[in-house]
């Protein structure tokens, strides 16, 4: 049953004022109009589907791609990982290995090259020879054949250069395969490599570490880098660990940082990533970096840095937005139910033609009347010793005239005094 107030017609429009009337809360809906909660529910479902689609697209875009398998290399060069140390005669011998994984023998030659060091362990070779090691490194001379599916080892003689500051130095070289005789153009792939030489003595070892992670991450996980800067004047090797702690729930994890070489004045980044257990939480990433100290590196120094990240999965963000919209909708409904119903205003009568007001006659000044404001007349003050005259007594009224029979006034004779 529809309950309407001041709505005479079926469309719910007030006939006199032309305004839409209000329907009483708790009664039937207005005809021809869908319910508010149905439209809001459809809008919320559409918003949720859009959020899921955006989250799936972001997860697909941020997914790590599988590395492509590279073809077999023609040659492989291996050098010892530890620095070369000199004996009492300032001489040292380094043994390297050249492998041939292919199916044919490869003749190779050795040439010394200079190196250009960069950040994040990048090393580029040059066509020139490092003048500090030009006459102090003896590479194998001539052409050598590496057997197919085999390897061959070579010895490199090194002498200590004089007047060289104590530090760790990198010495570069290349292994060049000789192409087979053919009329076509051959591509020569030089295999570059280097080995480290340690000159003992006092060093200037100093490090600084930073954690490059955002404070807030909208996603299932957070990833970044721990950047280590060598602010000293000597190259060094550092190591450490990265711990991941989760709040309010989740088991801590630890990532080990192996020994890495860092030249003076350069930096190196270590990749770190963390993901909360339920897709939401505060991730604390403490980092500990260690490096040697002292003259011979017998002791170590630790650098501690920490970063906190608030991680929220997109599904949690969509759920929070839906709950907020539902709360706002409920508050709007509650406000509309408590709002009093306003009565429609009565229609105003049409305005008739206005009757012109009569014009006032212009004022004409009398020629004898003085112009301008006149002073008010002061009342006469009574004179001292005089008696104020009393008002005269009222005289009796004269009798009415007598009318005769013929209708003429009968005048009475007046008495003579």
CA 247 to chain centroid, in Å, comes to 22
CA distance 114 to 124: 8
Q: Cβ distance 159 to 90 under 8 Å?
A: yes
What's the pLDDT score for residue 279?
A: 83
pLDDT digits (tens, 9 = 90+) for 310-357: 998 888 888 888 889 988 988 888 888 877 766 777 766 666 655 666
Q: Is 344 helix (H, G, I), strand (E, B) or coil?
A: coil
Q: Which of 318, 311, 257, 262 lies closest to 283, judged by CA?
A: 311
How much of the chain, in percent, has pLDDT values that exceed 70? Answer: 61
Q: Is 320 helix (H, G, I), strand (E, B) or coil?
A: helix
Q: Cβ distance 67 to 61 under 8 Å?
A: no
Backbone region of residue 328 per phi and psi (left: phi > 0; alpha: psi in -120 to 50; beta: other values): alpha
Q: Which of 174, 198, 202, 206 lies closest to 188, judged by CA?
A: 174
Q: How far apart are the first and last CA of the chain?
A: 107
Q: Cβ distance 219 to 313 under 8 Å?
A: yes
What's the pLDDT score for residue 52?
A: 67
Q: What 3 state SS string does 12-38 have? A: CECCCCCCECCECCCCCCCCCCCCHHH
Q: Who contacts 405 (Cβ-Cβ below 8 Å, separation ≥6)?
A: none
What's the pLDDT score for residue 11?
A: 44
Mean pLDDT by 10 residues, the chain (417 residues): 47 45 46 56 68 59 45 75 84 92 89 92 90 92 92 93 90 85 58 89 89 89 91 91 88 90 92 86 92 77 91 86 88 81 69 64 61 58 55 60 57 50
Distances (CA, A) of 182 to 49, 68, 100, 196, 302: 63, 31, 21, 38, 59
CA distance 203 to 298: 13
Burial string for 383-405 (b: 16+ CB within 10 Å, else e) reads eeeeeeeeeeeeeeeeeeeeeee
| Tokens, residue 39 | 């439209």
CA 164 to chain centroid, in Å, comes to 51
| Tokens, residue 285 | 């990433």
What's the pLDDT score for residue 1?
A: 44
Please indicate, yes or no, whether the overall pTM of this predicted structure exceeds 0.85: no
Whether the ω angle into residue 248 lies within 30 degrees of 0, i.e. cis, is yes
Q: Cβ distance 209 to 231 under 8 Å?
A: no
Rounded to the nearest 10 degrees, what angle do helices 314-338 and 36-62 cross at?
170
What's the pLDDT score for residue 133?
A: 92
């Amino acid at each position: 049953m529809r309950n309407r107030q001041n709505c005479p017609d079926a469309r719910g429009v007030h006939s006199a004022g032309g305004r839409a009337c209000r329907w009483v809360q708790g009664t039937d809906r207005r005809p021809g109009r869908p319910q508010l909660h149905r439209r809001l529910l459809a809008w919320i479902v559409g918003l949720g589907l859009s959020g899921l689609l955006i989250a799936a697209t972001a997860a697909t875009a941020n997914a790590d791609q599988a590395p492509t398998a590279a073809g077999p290399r023609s040659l492989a060069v291996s050098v010892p990982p530890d620095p070369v140390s000199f004996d009492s005669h300032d001489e040292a011998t380094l043994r390297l290995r050249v492998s041939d994984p292919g199916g044919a023998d490869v003749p190779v030659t050795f040439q010394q090259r200079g190196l250009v060091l960069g950040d994040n362990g990048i090393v580029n070779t040059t066509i020139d020879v490092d003048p500090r090691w030009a006459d102090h490194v003896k590479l194998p001379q001539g052409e050598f054949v590496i057997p197919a599916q085999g390897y061959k080892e070579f010895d490199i003689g090194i002498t200590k250069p004089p007047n060289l500051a104590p530090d760790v130095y990198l010495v570069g070289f290349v292994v060049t395969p000789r192409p087979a005789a053919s009329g076509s153009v051959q591509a020569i792939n030089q295999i570059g490599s280097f080995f480290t030489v340690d000159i003992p003595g006092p060093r200037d070892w100093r490090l600084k570490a930073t954690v490059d992670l955002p404070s807030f991450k909208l996603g299932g996980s957070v990833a970044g880098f721990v950047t280590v800067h060598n602010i000293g004047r000597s190259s060094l090797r550092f190591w450490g660990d990265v711990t991941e702690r989760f709040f309010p729930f989740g088991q801590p994890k630890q990532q080990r940082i192996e020994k890495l070489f860092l030249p003076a004045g350069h930096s190196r980044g270590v990749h770190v990533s963390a993901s909360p257990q339920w897709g939401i939480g505060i991730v604390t990433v403490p980092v500990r970096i260690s490096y040697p100290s002292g003259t011979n590196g017998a002791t170590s120094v630790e650098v501690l840095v920490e970063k906190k990240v608030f991680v929220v999965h997109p599904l949690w963000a969509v759920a929070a937005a839906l709950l907020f919209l539902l709360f706002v909708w409920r508050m709007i409904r509650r406000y509309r139910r408590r709002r009093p119903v306003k009565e429609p205003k009565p229609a105003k009568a049409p305005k008739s033609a206005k009757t012109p007001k009569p014009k006032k006659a212009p004022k004409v000044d009398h020629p004898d009347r003085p112009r301008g404001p006149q002073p008010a007349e002061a009342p006469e003050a009574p004179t001292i010793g005089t008696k104020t005259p009393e008002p005269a007594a009222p005289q009796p009224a004269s009798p009415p005239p007598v009318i005769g029979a013929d209708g003429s006034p009968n005048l009475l004779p007046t008495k003579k005094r």
